[in-house]
Amino acid sequence: MHHCVTVNGSSLLFCEVIPRSTYGWCPGERYCSDSQGFTAQRDLVDARPRSYNGRRTPSRYRALLRMRKAKRRPVESSNRATDSPDTLFSKIDAQKTAVKRSSSSAATIVWLRGRGDLRIHDNPLLLQAQRLNEPLFIMFTWSSADADKNYGFGEAQRVFLFSAVDALNRALNMRFQQVIHYVRLSDDAGLEEYLQLFHFLEASLSARTLLMARRYEPPLLQLDMELECTLTKQRKWKVYTHNMHLLHEPWTVAYDGDATSSAGHFGTLLPFWQAWQRNADLPPEPAAAPSTLPPAAALERCEPRTPACCEKPPPLAGDAFVDRTTRCAPFQFVTSLVETGLHPVRPGTKRWDTVLLGSWAVDEERVRAFLRDFLEHRLPLYEKNKSRADLEVVSRLSPYLALGMLSAREVFHATRAASRRLAASKRSKTFERRLIWRDLAYWTLYMFPEAVTTPIRSHYASQEWNEDPRLLAAWQRGSTGYPIIDAGMRQLWQTGWMPQNIRMAAASFLVEYLNIHWIHGLQWFHRTLIDLDIAINAMMWQNAGRTGLDMWNFVIHPETSARSSDPTGAYVRKWLPELAQLPNAYIHAPWKAPESVLSSAGVQLGATYPQRIIADLGAARKQSQAAVLEMRSRSMPQFFNADGYDRIRVPVLKAVSLPHERFQQTATADNTVWRHVFTRREFREAPFATHLPHETEACDRQEAQLLPKDSTRAMQGKSDAQAAA
């Protein structure tokens, strides 16, 4: 059920979802069994004076809850490692007025996590906080678990995240006199620790309302739902979660393979796009920034981790998740973002982050100006030149979309509006499709939660790969001897970004020519991309690795593709200055250059620039192809349909408005069907397990009921990765 709000007169700006407790269902019911006990306990807690961990605090931090005066100087940014707690809090204290806490001044918590929520414009959390008009406590938490190697932020992205949070802190301060409170959590922070944190905020600020953006990575989604459930059911919080990241959320798009579409194979972009359009209205228009925010709620502080602060955690009878006898709270409110441990560069080590950040804006106003610049100057050139790495035509918005410094809905609507002003010949279909491709990535991850680590085509798990670490290292470092691949990998290392077609060329090279498992590519991108997006990265690597819902119907040749993506050679010259003097004829194939040309360009192969790590691309390709065929020849027959297409099991689920409802569906029914997915002709035509035992026939029958007779044939040979690329 949605409660829709009209802001600024007539237009419908956003819809909020009512608190979850209304639905009466939570995952993991074990967390919800003793709500009576918790209600009684909460009353006890409320009766105590609040401070860190329920204790009275030293006199210099005495006031219990502070609010800001309506007009005062902005607080200086707290994100400085040099601020001691004393200095910082006295600065803040000097600009706040203590207010008496009463039940009517319960605080609202806005919890930022860097997953789609780091902005002021089109931010439903801030807009809702504005309407609630309770003292506001904005919080950013960090734990090493947030840097998890599968679902967390990668190293390069952490640098960017650090700057983005810092910039948002400054912007909130300038505009609304709010600061972000930083919390450092223990290394393996999980549900219990978060519950302790919220329990503490409840005790310290009378907080009972939590606003947060939805996360979609499977373990994070699960954690958020459990947290929300426990807080709402056991502790009577109101928890509001909002979509801040996607055009449409995955559970709202009913797509299990379109029986009537001949647009393309299951799981590829075009049929998903059709389902996406059919199932939902256009994404809501973006909302403006809030005009004001309520006054800040401030915490009573004590020195973190000192005996005064934590020698005695609150005595909560029946509270399973607080160790009442021995432990200091595992979280700390720290006074600077540096102290959270978010920044990956340790003091005294080489500052590799400076170059990385040099290429990107971090404050929201500049990011928005960057979007406007794209719409005005580059969108008209996009359709024709989107594959040109030597021209700056694509939007380069991905790092901002990944962290939510820019709203995808705003980009979607702003692009539509800008396109309407363009002559028909200059409009781009592809740009909008790419934003929907982003939704497809999240839908894929939602349907196949293991996709970050495991082949979606499960039989491909047994394929043999090349394990040579020297080849992998050469690819990672950009020293394969193929200029377009090396230029891309060096751009990635230095700036955290590459254009799409160069990413595809690099991925294709790793999988098709080096025959190295795509998971190594995914992990390297995870570590080095500034625009890391768990869902997109997984989808693209699965597709490149031939194990995804789509399978690229092409292999990208590193020399011939370079001639179309970088015809002037400017891209290679920029990232490989050692080749800059080579003439165009040889810039993408220095091994073909006569010795005289190499020497007058100052190039010595094997010394100034590497020799090719594999010289016979044709033979290398045959080897990786043979590995796939060999795997298919020993896979169980139910993994293929009669025409040789790979087959996978797909959950069939109704579209619902909330993730909880979808989980309910999966929890109650064995609702999967077999679906065939696009498979390259070269694999289909080779021998595969064809005898049809009982189970395979059943699969065929099941699929035949879902697809019209001729649709398999109609779709043969179509892979639409290219349609959007």
Q: Which is nearer to ligand FAD, 296 or 507 (CB)?
A: 507
Figure out which of the listed residues 525, 639, 663, 674 binds ligand FAD, where binding follows CB under 6 A: 525
Q: Whole-angstrom Cα distance, residue 544 to residue 651?
A: 23
Figure out which of the listed residues 83, 146, 364, 531 binds ligand FAD, where binding follows CB under 6 A: 531
Binding segment for ligand FAD among 90-98, 336-344, 531-539, 575-583 (CB under 6 A)? 531-539
Dihedral angle computed from the Cα positions of residues 108, 109, 110 and 115, in that order, rounded to the nearest 10 degrees:
-150
Binding segment for ligand FAD among 60-68, 94-102, 388-396, 699-707 (CB under 6 A)? 388-396
Figure out which of the listed residues 38, 160, 200, 437 binds ligand FAD, where binding follows CB under 6 A: 437
- Closest contact distance (angstroms) between CB of 535 and ligand FAD is 8
Place of tokens 């919220």: 198
Per residue, what are the HEC states of 344-370? CCCCCCCCCHHHHHHCCCCCHHHHHHH
Would you count residue 401 as binding ligand FAD (CB under 6 A)?
Answer: yes
Would you count residue 544 as binding ligand FAD (CB under 6 A)?
Answer: yes
The end-to-end CA distance of the chain, in Å, is: 37
- Closest contact distance (angstroms) between CB of 500 and ligand FAD is 4
Dihedral angle computed from the Cα positions of residues 468, 470, 473 and 474, in that order, rounded to the nearest 10 degrees:
-120
Figure out which of the listed residues 532, 601, 620, 648 binds ligand FAD, where binding follows CB under 6 A: 532
Instruction: Concatenate the DSSP letters of all residues of 125-183 into one string.
Output: HHHHHHHHTS-EEEEEEE-GGGG-TTTS--HHHHHHHHHHHHHHHHHHHHHHS--EEEE
Which residues sit in the known binding site? 382, 431, 531-533
Would you count residue 451 as binding ligand FAD (CB under 6 A)?
Answer: no
Residue 389 near residue 502, CB atoms below 8 Å = yes
Would you count residue 310 as binding ligand FAD (CB under 6 A)?
Answer: no
Would you count residue 233 as binding ligand FAD (CB under 6 A)?
Answer: no
Q: Whole-angstrom Cα distance, residue 333 to residue 137?
A: 13
Q: Whole-angstrom Cα distance, residue 479 to residue 474?
A: 5
Q: Which is nearer to ligand FAD, 145 or 441 (CB)?
A: 441
Which residues sit in the known binding site for FAD? 382, 431, 531-533
Place of tokens 């349907």: 447
Would you count residue 245 as binding ligand FAD (CB under 6 A)?
Answer: no
Q: Whole-angstrom Cα distance, residue 123 to residue 184?
A: 24
Q: Which is nearer to ligand FAD, 228 or 439 (CB)?
A: 439
- 190: buried, middle or exposed (CB in 10 Å: 19+, 13-18, 0-12)? middle
Binding segment for ligand FAD among 195-203, 210-218, 500-508, 678-686 (CB under 6 A)? 500-508
DSSP 185: P
Q: Which is nearer to ligand FAD, 263 or 397 (CB)?
A: 397
Binding segment for ligand FAD among 178-186, 226-234, 397-405, 624-632 (CB under 6 A)? 397-405
Which residues, in sequence order, are CB contacts of 276 under 8 Å at separation 6+?
A: 247, 248, 253, 255, 436, 439, 440
Would you count residue 504 as binding ligand FAD (CB under 6 A)?
Answer: yes
| Number of residues in contact with ligand FAD under rule CB under 6 A | 27
Write the CA distances from 123 to 167, 463, 490, integer angstroms. 16, 45, 35
SS3 317: coil
Would you count residue 507 as binding ligand FAD (CB under 6 A)?
Answer: yes
Would you count residue 200 as binding ligand FAD (CB under 6 A)?
Answer: no
Figure out which of the listed residues 127, 195, 356, 394 binds ligand FAD, where binding follows CB under 6 A: 394
Binding site for ligand FAD (CB under 6 A): 394-398, 401-402, 434-435, 437-438, 441, 499-500, 503-504, 507, 525, 529, 531-533, 536-537, 540-541, 544
